[in-house]
Amino acid sequence: NNELISSTLLNETTIGEQTLAIPLPIDELSDPNENFQNVQLTLRAEEHCLANSETVLTIDPQLSFIHFEYREGFPALDLALYPRPLYNNQFVNTVEVAYLVLPAEPTANDHRVAASIAAGLGLLTGNELQLRVVEADEITEQQLRDNNLLLVGQLGTNPVIDGLYEDDLLPTQLTSDGLEADGQLIPEGDGILQVITHPQNDKRAIVIATAQTPEGLLKAGQALAGPPSILGIGGPLALIEDVRPVQIPPAGILVNPEVTFEQLGFEDIRLEGIGTLIDEISFTLPHNQRLAEGAYIDLQLTASQLLETGPSTLTLYMNYEDPIFSGYLNNLLVQSADQVGPATVRVWIPPDTVVPGELNSIAFYLDVNGDWECNFPESDVIWMNILNESKLYLPTTLANVDLATPQVGWFPTPFNSEPDLRDVWISLPEDPTQKELQQAYDIIVALGAASQGGEGFRPRLHLGELPPGTDLASYDFIILGRNTTNPLLAELNNNLPQPFVPGSDTLQQVLDDVAYRLPEGYEVGVLQTLRSPWSNDRIILVITGTGPAGQDYAANVLLSGEFARSELLGDVVFAINDSISVVDTRLIEESVDLLTAIPELSTEVAIVSSATATLTPSETPYSIVSVTPGPSTTPTPSFTPSPSETPTPLFSLTPEPTVPTPLPTFAPLAVDDLEPNEVEQPAWVSALAIATTGLLGLIALFTGLRFVFGRRNSDT
């Protein structure tokens, strides 16, 4: 933090490998207002430069480390600091966990509130908080005691909240007349937010979102569905009388195409020292918009006078690939005599360098050079500031995405297009498993983190049949479940690029007259995207599988971060364990391409012992090819590997088995009967032999004459 804490002399006695143990000053690390600490390592070798010798110092990143010893503090009981105390920016190699505890029998309203809060936490923590969702009757005593808790539910529905009221541990009190705070009755329609120290663990905290009515609970959820208002929410208790709806512009209209770096959340950028220095900012465009002509960056620059002379350069890259500007600083920093303040540099942005629906980075490369020979100046006197008053001007036009086939790799686009996620509908089975519930909330947290300037989140999370009167054309759907568990998925089965056998979880692919079917119990995960049958402007993402384990494979591919978006550019992705097979049905000329994706995947992961294609009679005009996987000693999805080195594909593309035909045999002939046939030589062969013999004779005669005459000339 710009304070010298150690200096080591490098000479002939320090050549070779050595370990330096450098104490870090506690007073430099103890400022609670500092979230980041900066350790700078500098090599100075001016004397070696004068001797024209090279000094190489290598710091081993695998063996070097920073060791901290610390005590956990007590949680901050101030709602203005939310998401603290649930999330506290701990060290990079630690994981922060909080439990979101729903009522034992959560209603649609409970899920709606919890989904809003989860999306807000995704935004506020950058998806760095592991939010584990559990119903109140399923959480264990140890989980309750050891973790930060976020309790959601109306009075009388969540036993954990009710227990805190019974023990009088909350800032509000439950009386016969209703809820009170400081002796005053709380209006029934108010939302109530509270934060307390965990009564069983003073290093943990509990945040409570509750109310006396469903409408009040929605208000409490909305208050936590984005950045908190320091003026409106502060201290351990907040009563939410009303919430203002987020103002959403019409589709395709950018509220203000001009935005400063500060509005994007960036401080001043300071580049300091000698050599190549790099920093960046980032921004996003909605997936349905593209950058129009005339976009630019206005940079506000200040720099030390040492950079106003010499060959130092500033270069800008879009997404670290496309250079969009480069210039000498001594030209960029020149100002007129009457100009006061920072220098302004305008950089035009080519529209095709910005990717809609994704995070775009503008990288600043400052290459510092000077005529210093070996008299290098101190690094802190060579600097350039890019002020956060700098701005982007990003005019946009509507992109033509209607004709594009949706790709799995687009996620989280287009679901993060609206800043409040109002048009996202997540569909779950009527009775979801704990894993399915967790996966749904993981998706919501990820969408909140990827939202475009999000606040006031209100995605829809619904279990089972859709409510009557739902305007299906108004939503992008994420469907989680299987063909036999989620009624919405079963309704859409015929629209899927990879359908299921009706009424089952078995994949079906039709090739001419042959319908290929995977065997019952074979666990394959499937991610699919398609345009909504209710609106061509809407997208549906399906997370499914042929069984519970297969569905988990699919969800893991989408949420684990182990696969880049570019690796999922297809509208069908099959998953087995951590292996995938991606299919883009736009590029398929025959159905066999989609059909072979799974056997190729099974060969890759080598999980099938043998596979034999057999024909099964069918009442339909299609013949069904069933496949029998190899023996399995454990329940699905485990299979016994094949003993052969080359695993057999899951099934053969030949619908009928091949039957070998034996060759005919005959009695052998006697030796005397084996007389060779006489071969009649063509006449042209004899003529060619005579001509060749004559030519060779002439060559021999000519060679002999040259030898005789050569000796006579030598004697003369």
Q: Could you write out the DSSP letters of every residue in 71-135?
A: ---PPP--GGGTTTTT-----TT--EEEEEEE-SS--HHHHHHHHHHHHHHHHHHTT-EEEEEEE
Q: Is 235 within the bounds of a domain?
A: no
Any domain includes 183: no
Backbone angles phi, psi at 505, to 5 degrees: -105, 20
Q: State the average pLDDT over residues 628-647.
A: 35
Token pair for 60: 């081993």
Let me know if 189 is exposed, middle or buried by CB neighbors in 10 A (0-12, 13-18, 19+).
middle
**Rg of the chain's alpha carbons, rounded to an integer?**
37
Of residues 705 and 671, the one with the higher pLDDT is 705
Residues 313 and 358 in one domain: yes
Coil, strand or helix at 194: strand
Sequence letter at residue 329: L
Q: Calculate mean pLDDT across residues 509-517.
A: 50
Domain-ending residue, one of 342, 361, 394? 394
Do 463 and 555 share a structural domain? yes
* CATH number, position 285: 2.60.120.260
Q: What is the mean pLDDT of the chain?
A: 80
Predicted local distance difference test score (pLDDT) of residue 635: 35
Same-domain status, 412 and 389? no
Residue where a domain terminates, one of 607, 628, 649: 628
Looking at residue 440, what is its pLDDT? 97
Percent of the chain whose pLDDT exceeds 90: 50
Q: What is the DSSP code (8-state) at residue 507?
A: B
| Same domain for 322 and 289 | yes
Q: Examine the fold and report which residue of 628, 646, 667 is the final residue of a domain before the chain moves on.
A: 628
Per the structure, the count of domains in the chain is 2
Residue 574 token pair: 């099959």
Supply φ then ψ for residue 142, to 5 degrees: -65, -40
Residues 389, 412: one domain?
no
Per-state percent for the chain, helix, strand, coil, to nearest 5: 25, 25, 50
**Is the pLDDT reported for residue 620 higher than 50?**
no
Rounded to 5 degrees, φ, ψ at 367 are: -100, 105
* DSSP calls for 601-650: HHHHHT--S--EEEEE--SSSSEEEEEEPPP-SSSTT--PPPSSSSPPPS
Rounded Cα–Cα distance for residues 101 and 110 (Å)? 11
Q: Using alpha carbons, select from 203, 147, 106 the residue that is nearest to residue 441.
A: 106
Domain residues for the domain of 334 are: 258-372+379-394
Under 8 Å between Cβ of 135 and 167: no
| The pLDDT of residue 423 is above 70 | yes
Is residue 6 situated within a structural domain? Answer: no
383-386 and 322-328 beta bridge pairing: unpaired
> Domain for residue 66, yes or no?
no
Query: Could you tell me if 391 and 344 are in contact, meaning their C-beta atoms sit under 8 angstroms apart?
Result: no
Alpha carbons within 13 angstroms on the beta-carbon side of residue 670 total 2
Residue 3 pLDDT greater than 60, yes or no: yes
Residue in 386, 401, 320 with CA at minimum distance from that of residue 356: 401
Q: Are 517 and 467 part of one and the same domain?
A: yes
Kindly state whether residues 414 and 526 are assigned to the same domain. yes
Residue 210 lies in a domain: no
Chain centroid, CA 432 distance in Å: 25
Q: How far apart are the first and last CA of the chain?
A: 103
For the segment 238-261, the average pLDDT, to the nearest whole number, is 70
Q: Is 50 exceeded by the pLDDT of residue 650?
A: no
Residues 366 and 496 reside in one and the same domain: no
Contact indicator for 152, 114 with CB cutoff of 8 Å: yes
| Residues near 61 by beta carbon (within 8 Å), at least 6 away in sequence | none
Q: At what angle do helices 548-559 and 434-449 cross, to 10 degrees?
A: 20
Question: Is there a single domain that holds both residue 525 and residue 457?
Answer: yes
- The tens digit of pLDDT for each residue in 338-383 reads 566 799 999 999 999 998 877 789 999 999 988 887 788 887 889 9
Query: What pLDDT, on a 0 to 100 scale, did the predictor assign at position 640?
Result: 34
Is 114 within the bounds of a domain?
Answer: no
How many Å apart are CA 716 and CA 710, to the nearest integer? Answer: 10
Closest by CA position to 445, among listed 466, 426, 471: 426
Of the given ranges (33-47, 264-278, 438-452, 519-533), which has the lowest mean pLDDT? 33-47
Alpha helices in 457-608 (DSSP H): 487-491, 548-559, 591-595, 597-605
Tell me if 489 is assigned to some domain: yes
Q: Per the confidence metrics, is the pTM higher than 0.75? A: no
593 shares a domain with 503: yes
Whether residue 700 lies inside any domain: the answer is no
Taking Cα atoms as reference points, which of 588, 627, 583 lies closest to residue 609?
627
pLDDT band at 333 (very low <50, low <70, confident <90, very high): confident
281 forms bridges with which residues in the sheet?
362
Q: Are residues 432 and 384 in the same domain?
A: no
The least confident of 13-17, 25-29, 242-246, 307-311 is 242-246
Say if residues 591 and 508 touch (Cβ distance below 8 Å).
no
Cα 72 to chain centroid, rounded: 32
Exposed, middle or buried by CB within 10 Å (0-12, 13-18, 19+), for 688? Answer: exposed
Token representation of residue 431:
């009775």
Domain check: are 330 and 356 in the same one? Answer: yes
Compute CA distances 649 → 500, 547, 605, 612, 625, whole Å.
Answer: 21, 20, 10, 9, 14
Report the alpha-carbon distance of residue 56 to residue 46 in Å, rounded: 13
Lowest mean pLDDT among 46-50, 69-73, 313-317, 391-395: 46-50
